[in-house]
């Protein structure tokens, strides 16, 4: 037997080692494993600090000042907790919070129920299930800008397909209602689009959960003559629960920040019926140019999502330990 | 002879209430949950006003007490 490199990868590595200048090779060989690990992760940590952590700390600082981004040369003064006081006493922001809560609650509920139901069906492994899984995932792959624009066309009262489908099933004339222009229907129009786009994402996570349940558990249940209903509630749901909770956590965090879809579909209107917190935040920051105040608002939202994520992760760990 | 479990239990009982992880984590969770509901409820502006205080207290408490030993 020879020690000569056998595979292409080994031969390439050998050639690369020979081509490395001796000074660099000696220097690298002198590093410990720990040092090399740090060498690899340092760029990522530096990038994370620059892109995520620094802006967060900067926003916390700005939230205690009267800084306005359209007057960069004006003197910046500390205002203490005044920005927080104003945000937390503003009835308009309070209403935006309620709109956000309504949007988050319904989108998560619908996405979880529909996503899990589709995953349950796909998991039956019928003929062509791989093809249908890919088809179902298409909405998730589209850009929110594209989705927003074509749903605007679908919701058109004169030519929109959505109104015609509703008309076909209910008999209501298609031009008699306007999804995006009606105060009562506009929030639901956004909820429908978000559910259409992100239910496949929940489906994907739930499908991973369902596929991880070993078959022998169902076989044992069959031997014990457990009904399909009993198997669903005693095996499928408890074993897929950590995955469902994970999907809810991801979608919850994302939906609190929802901006693009709402902006494209309704722009916060009609009136302010669909003005979610992120749109109010954008208006405060880039229309009223109250940068300090909008930073305080952003920090409040961050604390809310961070706090909720903490207790949610705790609950998730408990479910996993069961 | 006392078992390790009994020793652990005795040590845990000696620890004051506010240094026990389980109950303090539960209190922090209740504070966060209440703060969250106060932030998004549609009934009373005063509750909304004090929601951040509640949320912050709960979150900071949770971060601290989750470092306590089991």
Across chain B, mean pLDDT equals: 83
Asked, for residue B29, whether it belongs to a domain, the answer is yes
**How far apart are alpha carbons B35 and B50 in whole angstroms?**
8
Instruction: Note the ipTM here.
Output: 0.81
What's the length of chain B? 70
Regarding whether A222 and A174 lie in a shared domain, the answer is yes
Q: Which two tokens stand for residue B32?
A: 């966060």
Regarding whether A135 and A95 lie in a shared domain, the answer is yes
Query: Cα dist. A295→A52, A74, A87, A119, A219 in Å?
Result: 15, 18, 10, 40, 56
- Give the pLDDT of residue A1: 43
Q: Which two tokens stand for residue A266?
A: 């309704």
Asked, for residue B10, whether it belongs to a domain, the answer is no
Regarding whether A234 and A170 lie in a shared domain, the answer is yes
Regarding whether A177 and A109 lie in a shared domain, the answer is yes
**Could you tell me if A88 lies within 8 Å of chain B, comparing CB atoms?**
yes
Regarding whether A50 and A124 lie in a shared domain, the answer is no
Asked, for residue A72, whether it belongs to a domain, the answer is no
Asked whether A253 and A137 are in contact (CB, 8 A), the reply is no
Closest CA to A195 of A97, A102, A305, A113: A113
**How far apart are alpha carbons A221 and A230 in whole angstroms?**
9
- Give the pLDDT of residue A251: 92
Asked whether A181 and A270 are in contact (CB, 8 A), the reply is yes
What is the domain count for chain A? 2
**How far apart are alpha carbons A52 and A44 in whole angstroms?**
11
What is the domain count for chain B? 1
Phi, psi (5° rounding) for residue A184? -80, -35
**How far apart are alpha carbons B28 and A155 in whole angstroms?**
45
- Give the pLDDT of residue A36: 87
Regarding whether A145 and A16 lie in a shared domain, the answer is no
Asked, for residue A68, whether it belongs to a domain, the answer is no
Asked, for residue A295, whether it belongs to a domain, the answer is yes
For residue B45, give the nearest of A94, A300, A303 by CB distance.
A94
Q: Is B5 a residue whose pLDDT tops 90?
A: no
For residue A310, give the nearest of B42, B49, B59 by CB distance.
B59
Question: A321 to chain B, minimum CA–CA distance in Å?
Answer: 15
**Domain of A173: which CATH number?**
1.10.3720.10
Q: What angle do CA A157, A161, A167 make, to 5 degrees?
A: 70
- pLDDT tens digit sequence for A259-302: 999 999 998 878 889 999 999 999 999 999 999 999 999 999 99
Asked, for residue A243, whether it belongs to a domain, the answer is yes
pTM of the model: 0.81
How many C-beta neighbours within 10 Å does residue A230 have?
12
Asked, for residue A74, whether it belongs to a domain, the answer is no
- What is the phi-psi region of residue A268: left when phi exceeds 0, alpha when psi lies from -120 to 50, beta otherwise? left
**How far apart are alpha carbons A190 and A275 in whole angstroms?**
11
Asked, for residue B28, whether it belongs to a domain, the answer is yes
Asked, for residue B39, whether it belongs to a domain, the answer is yes
Question: A278 to chain B, minimum CA–CA distance in Å?
Answer: 14
Question: A311 to chain B, minimum CA–CA distance in Å?
Answer: 6
Regarding whether A206 and A238 lie in a shared domain, the answer is yes
- pLDDT tens digit sequence for A183-234: 999 999 999 999 999 999 999 999 999 999 999 999 999 999 999 999 999 9
**How far apart are alpha carbons A175 and A164 in whole angstroms?**
9
Regarding whether A128 and A55 lie in a shared domain, the answer is no
Regarding whether A115 and A246 lie in a shared domain, the answer is yes
- Give the pLDDT of residue A2: 46
Q: For residues B20 and A41, which has the higher predicted lDDT (pLDDT)?
A: A41
- Give the pLDDT of residue A318: 83
Phi, psi (5° rounding) for residue A78? -75, 135
- Give the pLDDT of residue A316: 84
Asked, for residue B5, whether it belongs to a domain, the answer is no
Q: Is B3 a residue whose pLDDT tops 70?
A: no
Asked, for residue B6, whether it belongs to a domain, the answer is no
For residue A307, give the nearest of B32, B40, B41 by CB distance.
B32
By C-alpha distance, the chain A residue nearest B57 is A307
Contacts of A310 (CB under 8 A, 6+ apart): B32, B59, B62, B63
Regarding whether A152 and A16 lie in a shared domain, the answer is no
Regarding whether A204 and A129 lie in a shared domain, the answer is yes
**How far apart are alpha carbons A256 and A304 in whole angstroms?**
10
Q: What is the domain extent for residue A272?
A: 83-321
Q: Which two tokens stand for residue A192?
A: 């429908």
Q: What is the domain extent for residue B24?
A: 17-65
- Give the pLDDT of residue A172: 87
For residue B52, give the nearest of A88, A306, A311 by CB distance.
A88
- Asked whether the beta carbons of residue B59 and residue A300 sit closer than 8 angstroms, the reply is no
Regarding whether A13 and A139 lie in a shared domain, the answer is no
Confidence of residue B2 (pLDDT cuts 50, 70, 90): low
Asked whether B30 and B65 are in contact (CB, 8 A), the reply is no
Show the low-confidence residues of chain A (pLDDT under 50): 1-2
Asked, for residue A67, whether it belongs to a domain, the answer is no
């Amino acid at each position: 037997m020879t020690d000569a490199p056998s595979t292409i990868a080994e031969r390439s590595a050998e050639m690369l080692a020979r081509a490395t200048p001796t000074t660099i090779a000696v220097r690298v060989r002198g590093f410990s494993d720990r040092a090399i690990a740090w060498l690899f992760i340092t760029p990522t940590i530096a990038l994370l600090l620059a892109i995520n952590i620094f802006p967060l700390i900067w926003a916390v600082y700005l939230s205690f000042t009267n800084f306005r981004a359209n007057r960069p040369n004006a003197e910046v003064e500390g205002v203490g907790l005044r920005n927080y006081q104003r945000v937390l006493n503003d009835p308009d922001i309070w209403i935006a919070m309620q709109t956000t809560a309504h949007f988050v609650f319904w989108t998560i509920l619908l996405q979880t129920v529909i996503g899990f139901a589709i995953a349950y069906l796909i998991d039956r492994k019928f003929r062509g299930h791989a093809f249908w899984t890919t088809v179902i995932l298409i909405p998730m792959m589209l850009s929110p800008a594209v989705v927003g624009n074509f749903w605007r066309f679908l919701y058109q009262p004169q030519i929109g397909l959505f109104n015609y489908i509703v008309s076909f099933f209910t008999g209501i004339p298609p031009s008699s209602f306007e999804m995006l222009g009606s105060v009562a229907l506009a929030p639901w129009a956004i909820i429908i689009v978000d559910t259409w786009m992100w239910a496949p994402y929940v489906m994907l996570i739930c499908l991973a959960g369902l596929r991880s349940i070993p078959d022998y558990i169902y076989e044992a249940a069959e031997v014990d003559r457990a009904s399909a209903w009993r198997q669903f509630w005693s095996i499928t749901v408890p074993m897929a629960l950590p995955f469902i909770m994970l999907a809810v956590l991801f979608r919850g965090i994302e939906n609190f920040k929802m901006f693009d879809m709402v902006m494209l579909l309704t722009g916060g209107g009609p009136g302010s019926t669909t003005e979610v917190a992120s749109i109010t935040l954008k208006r405060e920051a880039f229309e009223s140019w109250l940068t300090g105040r909008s930073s305080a608002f952003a920090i409040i939202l961050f604390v809310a999502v961070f706090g909720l994520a903490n207790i949610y992760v705790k609950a998730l760990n408990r479910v996993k330990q069961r | 002879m006392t078992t390790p479990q009994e020793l652990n239990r005795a040590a845990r009982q000696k620890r004051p209430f506010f240094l026990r992880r389980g109950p303090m984590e539960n209190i922090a969770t209740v504070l966060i949950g209440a703060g969250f509901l106060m932030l998004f409820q549609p009934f009373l502006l005063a509750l909304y006003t004090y929601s951040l205080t509640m949320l912050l207290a709960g979150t900071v408490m949770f971060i601290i007490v989750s470092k306590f030993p089991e």
